[in-house]
């Protein structure tokens, strides 16, 4: 099987190959930073930077053969024009550093939630000969926008569902209230792994197996861990339409019975709208199979997959209450019997979750009885502008003297960037980006830690540590 190999030297935008001669001739160091300039949310959760650094910037990044290949590709790509690819520069870089990158990257800890317009990550070259490396690295480094955006979105949904559980039911159910259905809905296996892993900083349910693997390999997740914080994620046996419709409409009951027979205990989910979901729940699950459902040592999760979500779910709640009975929990909200629960996986996004939860709890139903499955809207319907991410040069060392640089476009002030080198001062859960004062000691409350220096990884977080940090920023308990 042949797989794609990308030359690491060419993991950048074409025009960046020509930037080495565009800086002032006395340049020694370039310093840049990453920030969110606002957007859908006014805060961000740092996620999956460790993966990006380990897989792109740590150790020997390129070999001499990569330099030669990059020269040939660039020569053709730029139609043979001179002063495009920095052939001599990369040859010198290899001779001097053996394919390792003289870069320093600092960042807040993953799982940390920081308000927009703050420096989350900084990058600078450590060898003055290779000042052009700093922003050569932008293309791959700035792809951190993707897991940060997914993690931030997932976190926001966690607060919505969490507040509903605090009001109407059991907050202990929250880790499994948003299940990742997004593997098939993203652009690549790597996207599924990175975005799916970012979601798992907030929740513990997924069907995106790529996410589990990336967390095992890069964040020391443990498949056999007893501590749920250390195990990447969980799933359950579940049907799809093909496994139900393969039996034929006349044998729909047999398809459902087969699910129960092969899963005599534990949680099992079954999509039930292949034909008529109301008939399926009233006369099949709640009729012919009623006693089997009630006698199982586990929970049947019914999945509707079409129709207007609030209308369908409310009707199903009523049918199940009629056929199986219902309870009123200690907080005064209605629940179905514990043997039957629901998952809504169709048309689910940040806004529909808010609407469904608000409407159904307003009608007296506890959030305990249904969960959400979210696919493309979680992992794919985001882009760099969702949180307006940018990496900008903010300082340059010319002949040993640092100078602040910035942009301030008259035509769009929202794109203005900061000038200077930065620390990110932390006071509890509040952060402030401040300029580095030359000669002053490093502030003790600086949240920017060096992760990578000259190819060596200096900080290695585990999944358990990142999840623990992320949980300290939860606000849903404020609804208690």
Q: What is the dihedral angle through the alpha carbons of 213, 218, 219, 220, rounded to the nearest 10 degrees?
A: 80
Q: pLDDT of 214-254, one tens digit each?
A: 999 999 997 776 777 778 899 999 999 999 999 999 999 99
Say if residues 387 and 39 touch (Cβ distance below 8 Å). yes
Q: pLDDT of 341-352, one tens digit each?
A: 999 999 999 999
Tell me the domain boundaries of the chain.
28-148+397-475, 163-379
pLDDT value at residue 25: 97
The span from the CA of 474 to the CA of 467, in Å, is 11
Q: pLDDT of 415-448, one tens digit each?
A: 999 999 999 999 999 999 999 988 888 889 999 9
Average pLDDT over all residues of the chain? 96
Q: CB count, 10 Å around CB of 418?
A: 20
The span from the CA of 312 to the CA of 306, in Å, is 8
> Which residue has 């600086």 as its token pair?
446
Q: CB count, 10 Å around CB of 142?
A: 18
Non-local (6+) Cβ contacts of 437 within 8 A are none
pLDDT value at residue 343: 98
The span from the CA of 314 to the CA of 284, in Å, is 18
Confidence bin at 479 (pLDDT 50/70/90): low
Backbone angles phi, psi at 393, to 5 degrees: -70, 130
Q: Is 1.10.357.10 the CATH classification of the domain at 163-379?
A: no
pLDDT value at residue 224: 72
Say if residues 211 and 197 touch (Cβ distance below 8 Å). yes
SS3 string of the chain?
A: CCCCCCCHHHCCCHHHHHHHHCCCCCEEEEEEEEEECCCCCCEEECCCHHHHHHHHCCCCCCCHHHHHHHHHHHHHHCCCCCCCCCHHHHHHHHHHHCCCCCEEEEECCCCCEEECCCCCEEEEECCHHHCCHHHHCHHHHHHHHHHHHHHHHHHHHHHHHHHHHHHHCCHHHHHHCEEECCHHHCCCHHHHHHHHHHHCCCCCEECCHHHHHHHHHHCCCCCCCCCCCCCCCECCCECCHHHHHCCCHHHHHHHHHHHHHHCCECCEEEECCCCCHHHHHHHHHHHHCHHHHHHCECCEEEECCCCCHHHHHHHHHHHHHHHHCEEECCCCCEEECCCEEEEECCCCCHHHHHHHHHHHHHCCECHHHEEEEECHHHHCCCCCCCCCEEEEEEEEEECCEEEECCCCCCCCHHHCCCCCCEEEEEECCEEEEEECCCCCCCCCCECCEEEEECCEECCCCCHHHHHHHHHCCCCHHHHC
pLDDT at 480 over 70: no
Q: Which fold has domain 28-148+397-475?
A: nicotinate phosphoribosyltransferase (3.20.140)
> Which residue has 């840049």 as its token pair?
32
The span from the CA of 212 to the CA of 220, in Å, is 11
> Which residue has 């001179």 as its token pair?
82
Percent of the chain beyond pLDDT 70? 99
Q: Which residues pair with 121 in a beta bridge?
A: 34, 107
Q: pLDDT of 27-74, one tens digit each?
A: 999 999 999 999 999 999 999 999 999 999 999 999 999 999 999 999
């Amino acid at each position: 099987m042949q797989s794609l190999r990308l030359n690491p030297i060419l993991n950048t935008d074409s025009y960046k190959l020509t930037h080495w001669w565009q800086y002032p001739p006395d340049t020694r160091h370039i310093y840049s930073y990453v920030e969110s300039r606002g957007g859908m949310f006014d805060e961000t959760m740092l996620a999956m930077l460790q993966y990006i650094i380990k897989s792109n910037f740590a150790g020997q990044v390129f070999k001499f053969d990569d330099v030669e290949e990059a020269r040939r590709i660039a020569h053709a790509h730029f139609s043979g024009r001179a002063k495009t690819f920095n052939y001599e520069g990369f040859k010198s870089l290899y001779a001097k550093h053996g394919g390792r990158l003289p870069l320093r990257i600092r960042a807040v800890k993953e799982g940390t939630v920081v308000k927009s317009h703050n420096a989350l990550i900084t990058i600078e070259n450590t060898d003055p000969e290779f000042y052009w490396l700093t922003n050569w690295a932008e293309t791959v480094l700035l792809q951190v926008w993707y897991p940060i955006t997914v993690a931030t979105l997932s976190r926001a949904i966690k607060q919505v569902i969490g507040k509903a559980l605090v009001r109407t039911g059991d907050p202990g159910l929250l880790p499994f209230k948003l299940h990742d259905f997004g593997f098939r809905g993203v652009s690549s296996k790597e996207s599924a792994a990175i975005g799916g892993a970012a979601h798992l900083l907030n929740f513990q349910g997924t069907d995106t197996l790529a996410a589990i693997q990336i967390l095992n390999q890069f964040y020391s997740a443990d498949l056999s861990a007893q501590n749920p914080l250390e195990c990447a994620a969980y799933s359950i046996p579940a049907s799809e339409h093909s496994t139900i419709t393969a039996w034929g409409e006349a044998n729909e009951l047999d398809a459902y019975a087969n699910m129960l027979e092969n899963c005599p205990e534990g949680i099992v989910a079954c999509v039930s709208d292949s034909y008529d979901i109301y008939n399926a729940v009233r006369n099949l699950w709640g009729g012919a199979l009623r006693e089997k459902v009630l006698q199982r040592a586990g929970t049947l999760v019914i999945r509707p997959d079409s129709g207007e979500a609030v209308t369908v779910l409310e009707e199903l709640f009523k049918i199940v209450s009629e056929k199986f009975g219902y309870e009123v929990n200690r907080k005064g909200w209605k629940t179905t019997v514990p043997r039957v629960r629901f998952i809504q996986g169709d048309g689910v996004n940040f806004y529909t979750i808010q609407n469904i939860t608000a409407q159904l709890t307003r009608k007296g139903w506890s959030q305990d009885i249904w969960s959400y499955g979210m696919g493309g809207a979680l992992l794919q319907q985001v882009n760099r502008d969702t949180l307006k991410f940018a990496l900008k040069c903010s300082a340059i060392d010319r002949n040993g003297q640092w100078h602040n640089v910035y942009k301030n476009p008259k035509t769009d002030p929202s794109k203005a960037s900061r000038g200077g080198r930065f620390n990110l001062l932390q006071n509890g859960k509040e952060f402030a980006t401040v300029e580095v004062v030359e000669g002053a000691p490093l502030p003790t409350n600086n949240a920017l830690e060096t992760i990578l220096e000259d190819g060596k990884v200096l900080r290695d977080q585990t999944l358990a540590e990142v999840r623990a940090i992320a949980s300290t920023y939860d606000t849903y308990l404020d609804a208690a």
